[in-house]
Structure 1
Amino acid sequence: MKKILTSAIILLTSINQAHAFSQETHKRIVIDAVSYMEQNPQSTQYAALSQYALQNKMSVSQLAELLGQAAYDVDDFEDTFLCGAITGSCVQAPLWGAAESIVKYTSYWHFQNHTQGADQHGNDFGGYNYDKLTVWGTIDSLAAAWLKGDYLDDGKGRETGWFNADSSKYNSYDITEAHYRIDSQSNYNMYDDFEKIPFQPIDNLGQYWFQSYLDSGNPQVLGFVFHTTDLLQPHHTWTTSDLNHSSWEGWVKDYYDQEQLNDPSLIRQAINTFSPLDEASTDVRPLLTQGGSFSYAQGGIVLNSKDHYDRVDTAKQVIPHAIAMVVHLLNHAMVAR
């Protein structure tokens, strides 16, 4: 019993470590991107953004708050349930992990693995897949062992536990996975054992919500796209739930202002490193992958070092690039709508 409880505590810690950038940091990044546009109206689509805010009966600052909150909210989506291989009981997070702000299984859609090539869906870069990790830690391995054989909820009467046990809560395969299956292919056999599940990458999540924004014009939906700043979090492109994941997240939140991670001069430099999307394009994934490629190339040290100055050096690269990526996305959203 003691061993089981210890494992549960460790896994609870691991789920908290899967946050990537904290929700507060996600929100700050978006608000800072809007602020940068306001300060640089000649080189951004700030005028169109201001008009968009007016059309939605709010000020630009209110729009920034709404967009930032939506980016924050993606970690709280209740759209991904894993079901017990034996019990058939489907939950959105470990039953012992009911603590406030625990990250749900939905966070497994928030990776883009740059240590591997194309995945079995046909994406250029895959998402989280324990079986394909090239860097990992105890947390990754413990989760895979604890969830061994557990399957993605696919609705009532399909995959079940023993003796047809089935407490399906949400058809995550035919809804969530289908939404993120953009330009790729899936079959349910890919999702019937957690330790081998090839989750769709976060750029597909971003593309789904960007297309939904184009269809609806809804600013909250546009805000969901900006959770893709996870691509500037090195753990999400090297792909691991361990290796200082949680402490790095907390450090970024704690030192965001003190170390001036949103320095406008650094944002300006970062903006120039991205290749803007063609105005006629409705596919934002090439831009998102640029962000992921940058964090993979520049941020690996934070997986292995807790040194303050190593973290400052990395954060002063990835945070301005995250803000810059949102500026590019906002610019594109304003001309593409």
Structure 2
Amino acid sequence: MKKLLLAALPCLLASQAQAFTQETHKRIVLDAVAYMKAHPAATQYARLAQYATQAGLSVDQLAERLGQGAYDVDDFEDTYLCGAVTGDCVRAPLWGTLSSIVSYSSYWHFQNHTQGPDAHGNDFGGYNYAKLTVSGDVDNLAAAWLSGDHLDDGPGGQGGWFGDDSEYNSYGITEAHYRQGSTSSYSMYKDFETMPFQPIDNLAQYWYGRYLANHSVDALGYSLHATDLLQPHHTWTTSALNHSGWETWVRDYYDSEQLSSDSLVTEALADFDTISPSEDDIRPLLTEGGDISYSQGGLVLNSQDHNERVMIGRIVIPHAIAMVVKVLNHAMQR
């Protein structure tokens, strides 16, 4: 079976990338800081500038660091899936070496709004092939390729027929970090087809917690990868259905179609609640972003029409920037 899939998968997956492209993730953060600079009275820009100074950076350098953090999350080497037969643990599929396809780390970057609570007790779960409502060819072929494969749980843990080639302990480190108050057992991660990956708001909350603990610029930047919640494919939850075409379109038309218009960001800010400075949990705010992309984004899963993409882009990108502004406002009050 896997020999047949090896021939088919590169054609389907060669252009798949990380929800919003890494460049778009970075640009959203840069534009959020620029918005705060342009609207100091309505944002926590003064405290942001003070934070930059304390970090030995200019505001522009701080924006660059934060944006790079949001960019870098797609490159994390923190998730390995292991062969049911070989026991070999890898961070990307064999056909990933043929293209710039994302690694398995990307499966933590979803929040499924087509379903309710997940097996962990989260209000919305993450990627779970068994729970997909709008799965497409990429999802189905990947699940067939990974049939029976398990999440790396460290040396001496789950192995394949021919051994245990653990590389990282993704369950004991990555999944534990992203658990964030929910519950897990390793039995949930023994077969890819039914793995309930933790949702992206838990990823963001983990890194935001690291920021609260030590005011790390990089940790704050990592938390801002949560703008995936404004990418409709990540709330409808599919790796297929124009996923790569849409993200490439957003990158290519970001400027020419004025997707980050200042006035649109101002309007978008009104759609988010303000987090109390005394509150540590930013996930309710992030889920609001997911609600917005889910309510608007079904169209780009089923259409490649330029004008329809412009309409959705001028909703989700300003809201992604606004969500970052809201998170940064909260962070600066802490």
- TM score, norm. by length of structure 2: 0.98
Percent of matched pairs sharing the same residue: 65
Structure 2 partner of 1:181: 179
Query: 1:6 corresponds to which residue?
Result: 7
1:269–1:170 distance in 2 versus 1, CA, 3 Å: same
Residues 244-284 of structure 1: CA distance to partner in whole angstroms, max 9, x if unpaired? 00000000000000001110000000011111111100000
Look up the match of 1:171: 169
Q: Is the CA contact 2:6–2:95 (under 8 Å) kept in the aligned structure 1? A: no
* Aligned counterpart, 1:155: 154
**2:97 aligns to what SS in structure 1?**
coil
Could you tell me how far apart the structure 2 residues matched to 1:286 and 1:234 are? 18
Quote the offset at 1:17 in angstroms.
Answer: 2.2
- Distance between the aligned counterparts of 2:245 and 2:49, measured in 1? 37
Structure 1 distance, partners of 2:109, 2:116, is 17
Alignment correspondent of 2:131: 132
206, 218, 221: which one aligns with 1:220: 218
Q: 1:121-161 deviations in whole A, cap 9, x for unaligned?
A: 00000000000001110110001111000000000111000
- The letter of the residue matching 1:290 is E
Preserved contact between residue 18 and residue 241 of structure 1 (Cα < 8 Å): no
Q: Is the CA contact 2:143–2:192 (under 8 Å) kept in the aligned structure 1?
A: yes
Instruction: Report the equivalent of 2:192.
Output: 194
Contact 2:96 2:103 in 1 (8 A): no
2:115 is the alignment partner of 1:116: yes
Q: Does 1:268 find its partner at 2:266?
A: yes
* Residue equivalent to 1:319: 317
In structure 2, the gaps of 5 or more residues are none
CA drift at 1:216: 1.3
**Deviation at residue 183 of structure 1 after TM alignment:** 1.2
Q: What is the CA-CA distance between 1:314 and the residue it aligns to?
A: 0.1
What CA deviation, in whole Å up to 9, does each residue of 1:66-125 have, x standing for no partner? 100110000000000000000000000012312464311000000000000000100000
Aligned partners of 1:99, 1:57: CA distance in 2, in Å? 41
Counterpart in 1 of 2:296? Answer: 298
Match of 1:283 in 2: 281
Secondary structure of 2:94 counterpart: coil
Matched, 1:206 2:204: yes
Distance in structure 2 (CA, Å) of the matches to 1:59 and 1:70: 17
**CA apart distance, 1:302:** 0.2
Deviation at 1:2, TM superposition (A): 7.7
Given that residues 74 and 106 in structure 2 are in contact (C-alpha distance below 8 angstroms), is that contact kept between their aligned partners in structure 1?
yes
Indicate the residue corresponding to 2:19 in structure 1. 20
Instruction: State the Cα distance separating 1:5 from its structure 2 match.
Output: 3.8
Letter in 2 for 1:169: E
Number of the residue aligned with 2:104:
105
Q: Count how many residue pairs are aligned between Structure 1 and Structure 2.
A: 333
RMSD between superposed Cα atoms in Å: 1.2
Q: Is the 8 A contact 1:89 1:168 kept in 2?
A: yes
Aligned residue number for residue 65 of structure 1: 64
The 8 Å contact of residues 90 and 167 in structure 1, kept in 2 or not, is answered as: yes
Aligned AA (2:72):
D
Q: CA deviation at 1:10?
A: 3.7
Q: Conserved in 2, the CA contact under 8 Å of 1:126 and 1:198? A: yes
Q: Output the amino acid matched with 1:110.
A: H
Read off the aligned partner of 2:89 and give its amino acid letter. C
Query: Which runs of 5 or more residues in structure 1 are unaligned?
Result: none
TM-superposed CA distance for 1:4, in Å, is 4.3
Change (3 A) 1:114 1:180: same
Separation in 1, partners of 2:320, 2:307 = 20
Contact 1:18 1:107 in 2 (8 A): no
Partner of 1:328: 326
CA distance in 2, matches of 1:293, 1:211: 23
Output the TM-score relative to the length of structure 1: 0.97
Query: How far, CA to CA, are the matches of 1:330 and 1:26 in structure 2?
Result: 15
